Amino acid sequence: MSERPPVRKSIQEINEKIRSGRAVVVTAEEMVGVVAEEGPRAAARKVDVVTTGTFGAMCSSGAFLNFGHATPKIKASRVLLNRVEAYAGIAAVDCYIGATQVREDDPLNRVHPGRFEYGGGHVIEDLVAGRPVSLGATSYGTDCYPSREHRATVRLRDLRDATLLNPRNAYQNYNCAVNRSDRTIYTYMGVLRPRLANATFSSAGELSPLLNDPYYWTLGTGTRIFLGGAQGYVVGAGTQHAPDTPRTDRGVPRGGAGTLMLTGDLKRMDARYLRGASLVGYGTSLMVGVGVPIPVLNEELAWLTGVSNRELVCPVVDYGEDYPHGTGEPLAEVTYADCMAGEIRVSGRPVSTSPLSSLPRAREIASVLAGWIRDGRFQLGEPQETLPTAPWAGSVPGS
Amino acid sequence: MEIAKNVLLVFRTEVMYQPVIYRLAREFDLVFNILEAKIFPRREGRLILELRGTPDRVGAGVAYLAKAGVEVTSIADNIRRDDERCVHCGACTAVCRTGALAVDRDTGEIAFVPERCAACGQCETACPMRALAGVNIERLGGVEAVR
């Protein structure tokens, strides 16, 4: 290979290039070709930042809202937004609206499968879209906060503060779901027809944020990201972050693995990238758009960001029996290349696949983020502490 | 050249027990395929048919049905996808068996071909964004079935 020394760059150096408009930015899809054609060392020298993107239902999402005081003041103990309860067990006019909270009078799954027409995810979308939302707060009254009831119609701009804070987003990898039982099931992985009639998967594959920095070398508290159409930040590891998941030589986890806790100012976001979702038979959720820039600090990162759908694997899991009971083993391991081509093989049979996360919007996010960086409007955030990781057993070919 | 057209037929009480469909094959040389049928007791029957034949014969068959007192509704003209709501996630493709909703492998977008829709109504519930409407034998074309 090349005689030239290994590439070592710092985030500060890349930010300097971004400020002077010289940074070379490609999307994670484009990076696959760059690494395949030019090799990891040349790719590391050429490319400064790889942008990723994903857009799908992320249930562990919600927003802290402060709706401000009316006269007299209230210490809200129960808060409803469009009849969806927001957690009010925090300070007087603060609350947290969670994506999966459903309406007070929702019939749930009493007639199965329930439709779950409206929930916290929809409240968040309505707020971000600028639509009016009815607020109802009740309290027991105190000497300092005597009011017992506060009703108002609010818009996002009326709220004093609105911060998206998602405890677990951008799961590094995920199951491909099938159903071996004899009845159709309605899951958070969509509608699964009986006897392996179909499979669903939910990943942007080679565009997915954590699949491009599989050991989280560049990611941690303070990493600046695209979140819901605005700049946001990584708070730290998300709930259930599990770096020790078994991996392939190229670092690809063979299951869930890493997660991110994310935050950003809801007032700056765009409803194109934050959408309420109704998952039949399951509940409500929020479709979240996330894009993470990966600085190509060295050829190892070039190699890892060059990973393609052919090398990205996921386990095929039975949601009819195994998943709900926590039993059994994956039925197969398949690649995202196969999932995206429309058919996988499970137990010797062809099974047609359907995506659940939007590939076009993931592409759009990676491309919008690349544009922000090229224009010098987005600087990389330096993580103050990187996420818990695992050792890499692989190596860069040719080094 | 042959075409295929999916239609909803509503049989009100007056024509409900008349033999009508067999004439499509006998007199108009059409291939018909029953995609879905539902009878609402004593009031009306609803049938979704795929009609296959030359454009002229399909047109003549549809005209005959209307003349015989059957309400004919073209399915393709009555189902809608709200393109503002649709995010192209693909959840609908898990339930669509006719290929009316399918992933475009180049763009990743969900292609929508109303002509292939059999109005099974499954996508309407499977869509997390509630972007599909009208695709149900009971509520097609905004004509609520009389129960």
Burial state string for A335-355 with b = 16 or more CB within 10 A and e = fewer than 16: bbebbbeeebebeeeebebbb
Query: Which residue on chain B is closest to A116 by alpha carbon?
Result: B128
Residue A115: CB atoms within 10 A of its CB come to 17
List the 8-47 stretch of B: residues with Cβ below 8 A of A: none
Residue A271 lies in a domain: yes
- To the nearest whole angstrom, how far is the Cα of A298 from the nearest Cα of chain B? 31
Do A193 and A181 lie in one domain? The reply is yes
Residue B145 confidence (pLDDT): 53
| Residue A391 forms part of a structural domain | no
pLDDT at B138: 79
What are the structural domains of chain B?
Answer: 3-74 (3.30.70.260), 80-142 (3.30.70.20)
Which of A107, A132, A163 is the last residue in one of the domains? A163
Q: Cα A271 to chain center, whole Å?
A: 15
- Domain end, chosen from A145, A163, A181, is at A163
pLDDT digits over B72-115, tens only?
Answer: 999 998 889 999 999 999 999 999 999 999 999 999 999 999 99
Nearest CA in chain B to A197: B94
Which chain B residues are Cβ-neighbours of A185 within 8 angstroms? none
Q: Please give, rounded to a whole number of angstroms, the shortest distance from the CA of B24 to a CA of chain A.
A: 34
| Residue A57 contacts B, CB cutoff 8 Å | yes
**3-state SS assignment for residue A233:** strand
> pLDDT value at position B25?
95
The answer on A143 and A39 residing in a single domain is: no
Residue A393 falls within a domain, yes or no? Answer: no
The pairing of strands B31-40 and A230-237 is: unpaired
Which residues in chain B touch residue A357, judged by CB atoms under 8 angstroms apart? 89-90
> What does the pLDDT read at residue B140?
65
Residue A385 domain flag: no
- Pair (A356, A328) in one structural domain: yes
Instruction: Examine residue A387 and state whether it is found in any structural domain, yes or no.
Output: no
- Identify whether residues A189 and A209 lie together within a single domain: yes
Task: Write the residue in B88, B108, B126 that is nearest to A190 by C-beta.
Answer: B126
In a domain, A37, yes or no: yes
Q: Which chain A residue has its CA at the smallest distance from B88's CA?
A: A358
- Is B80's Cβ below 8 Å from some Cβ in A? no
Nearest chain B Cα distance for residue A54, angstroms: 11
Q: Based on the structure, what is the number of domains in chain A?
A: 2
Q: Is residue A199 domain-resident?
A: yes
Q: Is B126 on the interface with A (CB under 8 A)?
A: yes
| Nearest-angstrom CA–CA distance, A97 and A102 | 10
Last residue of a domain, one of A163, A182, A201: A163
Task: Using CA coordinates, name the residue in chain B closest to A273.
Answer: B87
**Across the interface, which of B91, B107, B122 has its CB nearest the CB of A356?**
B91
- Sequential pLDDT tens for chain A (399 residues): 445 678 999 999 999 999 999 999 999 999 999 999 999 999 999 999 999 999 999 999 999 999 999 999 999 999 999 999 999 999 999 999 999 999 999 999 999 999 999 999 999 999 999 999 999 999 999 999 999 999 999 999 999 999 999 999 999 999 999 999 999 999 999 999 999 999 999 999 999 999 999 999 999 999 999 999 999 999 999 999 999 999 999 999 999 999 999 999 999 999 999 999 999 999 999 999 999 999 999 999 999 999 999 999 999 999 999 999 999 999 999 999 999 999 999 999 999 999 999 999 999 999 999 999 999 999 999 999 999 999 998 999 986
Distance from A196 to chain B by nearest Cα, in Å?
12
Let me know if A144 is a catalytic residue.
yes
- Considering the domain architecture, whether residues A184 and A324 belong to the same structural domain is answered as yes
**Residue whose C-alpha is closest to residue B121's, from B88, B89, B90, B98:** B98
Q: Are residue A80 and residue A200 in the same domain, yes or no?
A: no
* Per-residue model confidence (pLDDT) at position A2: 45
Q: Does B67 touch chain A (CB under 8 A)?
A: no
- Residue ranges of A 323-362 with Cβ closer than 8 A to chain B: 340-342, 354-361
Say if A1 falls within a structural domain: no
B87 touches chain A (CB under 8 A): yes
- Contact at CB, B128 and A361, closer than 8 angstroms: no
- Quick one: A43 and A182 in the same domain? yes
Whether residues A82 and A51 share a domain: the answer is no
What is the structure's pLDDT at B16?
81
**E strand intervals along chain B:** 3-12, 31-40, 44-53, 71-74, 80-81, 101-103, 110-112, 132-133
Q: What is the pTM of this model?
A: 0.94
Show the tokens assigned to A89. 């067990």
A287 and A311 fall within a common domain: yes
pLDDT exceeds cutoff 90 at B41 = no
A287 near B CB under 8 A: yes
Cβ-defined contact of B108 to A192 (cutoff 8 Å) = no
Q: Please check whether residues A198 and A328 belong to one and the same domain.
A: yes
What ipTM does this complex have?
A: 0.95
Examine the domain organization and report whether A103 and A187 are in the same domain: no
SS3 label, residue A130? coil
- Residue of A55, A115, A354 lying closest to B93 (CB–CB): A354
Q: Which of A232, A351, A246, A340 is nearest to A290 (CA)?
A: A232
- Contact list in B for residue A363 (CB cut-off 8 A) is 108
Angle B25-B28-B30 from CA coordinates, rounded to 5°: 50
Quote the domain boundaries for residue A105.
Answer: 65-163
| Nearest neighbour of A275 by CB, restricted to B87, B125, B126 | B87
Q: Tell me: do A253 and A355 sit in the same domain.
A: yes
